[in-house]
């Protein structure tokens, strides 16, 4: 079932297009990877998908199913340095995933707190609950933000370079975790990545943004396509 359908997107700032003619669909259970060189418009695409900036042209349709689940895309941002000395416990951050859903209600309900506990358990960070976020390792921090993203969404996650800055072992664990969320928990994944090996290993669909245009198709089609072979280089 389709969750998200983007047609003829034209992206950019103040009327200046960074990328155009971007069309793709995301269906339930997909693992879509967005690849492309720096400056190709990936970050602009992320912002547009999240509704942080409007597209210059084209449309983003959210399906009935997605809207019923709150219409929210769970977002795992790239880590920003401002957060590094922030006094906040893991629990406080994870619970803030509920903010949009809680409307004007000032406090979290008991069910929400329990749900937050369950998600921390699922991601293996329950024992860090009372710890300060800024004192955790990079991998642990990403899990905290992932738990928060999962609470914000019913079924769709957008991960922006989720393994940037992590060491190889933690990177592998992170990929396994994302794969498990996709396979076992039925979470649809959209991941922006530079890591072509991981993309080829995990993605079901690929959106390649290049020279201001985009290629979209399944992972098999991509591996056979000219652009896919060029980009993947000697990896295979």
Binding residue for other proteins (CB under 8 A) from 87, 168, 233, 234? Answer: 87
By CB under 8 A, tell whether 108 contacts other proteins. yes
By CB under 8 A, tell whether 67 contacts other proteins. no
By CB under 8 A, tell whether 148 contacts other proteins. yes
By CB under 8 A, tell whether 74 contacts other proteins. yes
Residues 21-60 touching other proteins, rule: CB under 8 A, are 50-52
Binding residue for other proteins (CB under 8 A) from 6, 152, 178, 207? Answer: 152
Q: Which of 205, 236, 213, 227 is nearest to 34 (CA)?
A: 205
Binding residue for other proteins (CB under 8 A) from 15, 81, 82, 233? Answer: 82
Query: CA–CA distance from 18 to each of 10, 36, 109, 147, 178 (Å)?
Result: 8, 13, 43, 32, 29
CB atoms within 10 A of CB 105: 10
Rounded to whole angstroms, how far apart are CA atoms 178 and 121?
15
Binding residue for other proteins (CB under 8 A) from 71, 138, 139, 212? Answer: 71
Considering beta carbons, is residue 86 or 185 the nearer one to other proteins? 86
Helix, strand, coil percent content, the chain, rounded in steps of 5: 40, 25, 30
Taking the CA of residue 219 as centre, how many other CA atoms within 13 Å lie in the half-sphere pointing to its CB? 15
Binding residues for other proteins, rule: CB under 8 A, are 50-52, 70-75, 77, 82-83, 85-89, 92-93, 95-97, 99-100, 102, 106-108, 130, 132, 134-135, 148-149, 152-153
């Amino acid at each position: 079932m389709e969750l998200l359908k983007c047609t003829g997107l034209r992206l950019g700032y103040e009327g200046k297009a960074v990328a155009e003619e971007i069309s793709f669909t995301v269906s339930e259970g997909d693992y879509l990877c967005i690849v492309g060189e720096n400056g190709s418009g990936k970050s602009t695409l992320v912002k547009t998908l999240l509704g942080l900036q409007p597209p210059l042209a084209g449309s983003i349709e959210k399906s009935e199913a997605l809207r019923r689940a709150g219409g929210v895309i769970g977002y795992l941002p790239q880590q920003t340095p401002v957060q590094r000395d922030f006094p906040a416990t893991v629990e406080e951050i994870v619970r803030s995933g509920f903010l949009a859903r809680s409307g004007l209600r000032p406090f979290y309900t008991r069910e929400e707190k329990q749900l937050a506990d369950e998600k921390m358990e699922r991601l293996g960070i329950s024992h860090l609950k009372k710890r300060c976020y800024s004192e955790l390792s990079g991998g642990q921090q990403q899990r905290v933000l992932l738990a928060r993203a999962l609470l914000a969404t019913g079924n769709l996650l957008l991960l922006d370079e989720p393994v940037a800055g992590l060491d190889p072992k933690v990177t592998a664990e992170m990929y396994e975790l994302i794969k498990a969320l996709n396979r076992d928990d039925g979470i649809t994944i959209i991941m922006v990545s530079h890591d072509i090996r991981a993309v080829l290993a995990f993605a079901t669909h690929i959106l390649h943004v290049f020279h201001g245009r985009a290629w979209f198709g399944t992972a098999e089609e991509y591996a056979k396509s000219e652009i896919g072979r060029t980009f993947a280089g000697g990896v295979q």
